[in-house]
Amino acid sequence: MTNNKSVLNWIEEMKTLVSPDKVVWIDGSEEQLEQLRAEACSTGEMLKLNQEKLPGCYLHRTAVNDVARVEDRTFICSQNEVDAGPTNNWMEPQKAYKMLYDIARGSYKGRTMYVIPYSMGPIGSPLAKIGVELTDSIYVVLNMAIMARVGQAVWDVLGDNPEWVRGLHCKCEIDAEKRYICHFPEDNTIVSVNSGYGGNVLLGKKCFALRIASFLGKNQGWMAEHMLILGLQNPQGKVTYVAAAFPSACGKTNLAMLIPPEGYVKKGYKVWTVGDDIAWMRPGEDGRLYAINPENGFFGVAPGTNAKSNYNALASTGEGTIFTNVVQNLDDNTVWWEGLDKNPPKNAVNWKGEPWDGSTSSEKGAHPNSRFTAPAKNCPCISPEFDKGEGVPISAIIFGGRRAQTTPLVYQSRDWDNGVFVGSIMASETTAAAAGAVGVVRRDPMAMLPFCGYHMGDYFAHWFEMGKVLGDKAPKVFNVNWFRLDDEGHFLWPGFGDNMRVLDWIISRVEGTADAVETPIGFVPKAEDINLQGIEDEINLETLRNILVVDKDQWKKEAEGIEEFYKNFGDKLPQELRAQLDQLKQKLQ
């Protein structure tokens, strides 16, 4: 498979540690994957679904104590604690390795070690990176084969290069008390023990593509961001690409796969999905910022996904998909989850594997964090540029959060530095779905708070550095808020496909064809410049004006919250951000 000394030596070292009965090298061939699917079904690790209705689709149930990412068990293990920063859990690397290896030792006895070579990004792309994951889980192998580019071609591209990311995953006993997901950014290494849930064990995803990659990007002059990438095609056929960052529950996947309103479709507008979750971006030869989606699939939340909320996401799950912790409908051996439709199956099995009757049970059938792992190529609006290794040029970066008041529907930053400020103050208010009080402002800069692999103060500084490199070719920066409420708590903006109307204004600003009004926080559209054609019954010009208002008193209070938040970063907070905050306060006077 490979003669790469650094790979072979590491695998030998790990074999000695975990003691597998046998080793299987994953070559990415359909023949080998089919054998593994059959084996997983024979042991009950996976269930084969109705192949007529859901060809190539399978169901998996995780352990009941292992259903989501575990932030409190996730560590950045850098030599110096200060380099991990105040927003990460830190552990000293030598101590972490000893602890993890003591847990992992001998844990593959009676099991198979699978060696997965994978490329994040199209194989051979100048923006791609290579990883190797060792796992004792067929579920992980089959998910990685969907989420990344896997197989012999990866070894061919790697050659003798010692630069690749090591990933060791050991199911062990799925013991929640000994569950750790540890990142060693200075060693290009990830170790995950005692979990079988995708978010903790598909090491190419958040672990590599954000935590390790953000550190690599800082050192190598590029950016790894928690962003969707979409292309907006106008009737003349010109496609403009934007990247956008949103905290969870803010409609990120819906925007990535947006279906334009009927009026736009008739005129010939199209939206293309390049990525729904992660963007790797670096300056191209022409000085502009180019982005790839490092992933090859979607690891989406199932509940709430339906033909109305996100037709394209649902369509992506129709073939070759692995469903995790959803309901199994025994009548026709298909799947169901809350929010799919209003017809829960009566003769079914819930996510825990227990008999479940959707017509009488008060308990949810699918876990709230149940998932689908679907090939990106299934998406009806997948971009023709998806597999192009050189990436797509980004013209705008959009930040967003969930705010009932304060933040207008959309505004544009004054320039790149002000845009970094806008990203750094990103916030959402807690909803009933989140633990704790409702309406509490939680800041999540660039939606990277749980995923930045180093000190967030240094991360902000890297954004300013990138601005200097890009100069006047830097993307324009915007902020959106689809979630403004009236006094009765109703949403004022229709959202979903109608968000296209805001994107339309953003593209017009990028092209210099739309006007704007200057406010203390940045440039806000004139209400009449947002196209309301076809939705006049839902929102009128007066309401639109109201959700574009910048209330100085609310923003004075906001500035106090920002000041408090910035204290977390101590003297690592870039002076540019302090200056931006001071400037905001002056403009509010």
Residues belonging to the active site: 250
Residues in a beta bridge with 25:
115
CB 209 within 8 A of CB 294: yes
Give me 566's structure tokens: 């910035």
Give me 337's structure tokens: 């989850």
CB 273 within 8 A of CB 291: no
| C-alpha of 41 from chain center | 29
Measuring CA to CA, which residue among 146, 150, 115 is closest to residue 12?
A: 115
Cα end-to-end distance, the chain, whole Å: 66
DSSP helix/strand/coil, 116 = strand
| Distance between CA atoms of residues 521 and 486, nearest Å | 22
Give me 20's structure tokens: 């597998």
Integer CA distances (angstroms), 320 to 34, 40, 316, 373, 565, in order: 11, 15, 9, 9, 44
Integer CA distances (angstroms), 475 to 110, 291, 306, 385, in order: 53, 12, 33, 19
Q: Kindly tell me the sign of the dihedral angle through the C-alpha atoms of 190, 124, 244, 380.
A: negative
- Give the position of tokens 């963007």: 279
Beta strands 270-275; 228-233: pairing state: antiparallel
Give me 267's structure tokens: 């005129």
Residues in a beta bridge with 169:
192
Residue 558: half-sphere exposure toward Cβ, Cα within 13 Å: 24
Amino acid in the structure at residue 239: V
Give me 110's structure tokens: 């009676």
DSSP for 433-477 reads TSSS-TT-EEE-GGG-TTT-SS-HHHHHHHHHHHHHHHGGGSPEE
CA angle, residues 321, 251, 196, in degrees to nearest 5 = 40
Beta strands in 316-454 (DSSP E): 322-324, 327-329, 334-336, 348-349, 355-356, 371-375, 392-400, 410-412, 427-429, 441-443
